[in-house]
Chain A
């Protein structure tokens, strides 16, 4: 693989993640789906960016591109100044369903990345029962799962499994955190509780986060920037900075500024939905 060097950024900030005129087309031959039209995006180190947009507009696709799970059809994806995949990168991912391994206890589930990712994997055997175990317990306690390490996934509620899944995404101190609607399947109260936890975790560790969500309140609560996308082909049509001071609480979402912002974004998304005859 050729590893192109990222061109210098004109505006001075050094982006941690950069998509440069990326397009992505799924499939080959006659049945191709242009999932992503020419898209450019810069995300600074330690930033928190939310991606919102109508269903099928390519949000998950962007996450996969940034983690190197799929290769761009054209254009470049840079992470930490190198083309994605060129250098090992600690990445955490969480999805709408918790995808825990049912045969492992919650502790072992959360510990899984330590078993695989450097530099932890070298010490895994030695520290599994001591330091790593404490590390997992501390993180579990932080998300409100103290004492649940010995339980199995099926003994937990959906919200608890989602917390454990977040822990698994964070245990190895990822530089990049990819969240694909991780709170989408939860009830309103659990969701708001997890927003607060997520904010705490982000503020204390400062990973670079890309969050896909359908919930504009969630995007406004958590993100520093909200990118609105349209579909067919997927494209970013608005990149909005969110300036509410941190730590934010749920009260902020009732302020007129916040409501005005979400309303504006909502209108954008509605207008960005593909026309009926195109679908």
Chain B
């Protein structure tokens, strides 16, 4: 408990120290606002421009979460398909790898072509960004079921579905939740990329316009919002992961919490 507290204090001190140092360096070397604004100035901008930034923040959050939601649905479905059959695994895996190695920025123009600029390409980009880690993790979780456990189930005449439901899926859960915290950050990146390229709303778009007009403090304010959102999403899904799949960590805290 004590060491846990210490670790948290240390990490908070490190973050604060980082910004203080940034502030000091900016002031000491008279670095221009156009290049790197001071943290104090960024926070001031955030505060002053909040009414203007807030709807865009919500927009980015919205496209991220909707895209992420679709990503989960599609990812779990594809992962289950691939993970529950050896044949599907062998056939689909190379395709999946190929798909995963396409830089996702490259597909944004295609989405824009199909659906026009706006929220839809952002949602789709968020979705395909978050898809891959979910698919791989669910499939891996399913495919690594102990063969002897499967023998026990088959000897009981359990159907494929029953094995999936009672053994495969619970087993894949830790993998699935571990993938969520990574996937949600990727969904977020996808949404912002798409907004930057082709949208008139969202934080990505705000940053684009701000940088075009050399409003550097606003660009950094956007960055701060993105960082804050990204960290929050990560923390939320880490927390869910720890709660739901405590058994996988084999800790005593699980039984109590």
Contacts and interface: CB of A to CB of B under 8 A. Distances in A.
B148 A97 contact: yes
Contact of B247 (A91, A103, A113): A103
Interface string B134-158: 0000000000001011011111111
B151 A152 contact: no
B157 A95 contact: no
Contact of B170 (A64, A99, A103, A172): A103
Contacts of A172: 156
B255 interface: yes
Given A102-B247, A152-B247, A69 B255 contact: no
A116 B151 contact: no
Interface string A83-124: 000001001110101010111000000001101110000000
Residue with the highest number of chain A CB atoms closer than 10 Å, among B155, B248, B255: B155
A116 B247 contact: no
A69 B148 contact: no
B77 interface: no
Contact of A116 (B148, B156, B171, B255): B156
A101 B155 contact: no
B151 A93 contact: yes
Interface string B169-210: 011010000000000000000000000000000000000000
A223 interface: no
Interface residues of B, number: 23
Interface residues of A, number: 26
A101 B146 CA distance: 10
B158 A69 contact: no
B167 interface: yes
A176 to B, nearest CB: 9
B11 interface: no
Given A99-B146, A102-B247, A155-B255, A69 B166 contact: no
A154 interface: yes
A113 B250 contact: no
B250 A154 contact: yes
A116 B152 CA distance: 11
A101 B151 contact: no
Given A116-B162, A155-B255, A101 B170 contact: yes
A116 B157 contact: yes
B153 to A, nearest CB: 7
Contacts of B156: 91, 113, 116-117, 172
B92 to A, nearest CB: 23
B246 to A, nearest CB: 9
Given A88-B157, A101-B170, A112-B166, A93 B247 contact: no
B155 A91 contact: yes
B167 A93 contact: no
Interface in B76-90: none
A178 interface: yes
B157 A117 contact: yes
B154 A69 contact: yes
Contacts of A162: none
Contact of A95 (B148, B154, B158, B170): B148
A117 B159 CA distance: 11
A113 B166 CA distance: 11
A96 to B, nearest CB: 9
A23 interface: no
Interface of A: 64, 67-69, 88, 91-93, 95, 97, 99, 101-103, 112-113, 115-117, 152, 154-155, 168-169, 172, 178
Given A67-B155, A178-B155, 5 more contacts: A91-B156, A95-B148, A95-B151, A97-B146, A99-B149
19 contacts: A68-B155, A69-B155, A91-B156, A95-B148, A95-B152, A99-B146, A99-B152, A101-B167, A101-B171, A102-B247, A112-B166, A116-B156, A116-B157, A117-B156, A152-B254, A152-B255, A154-B247, A155-B255, A168-B152
Closest 4 CB pairs of A and B: A91-B155, A103-B247, A99-B149, A67-B155
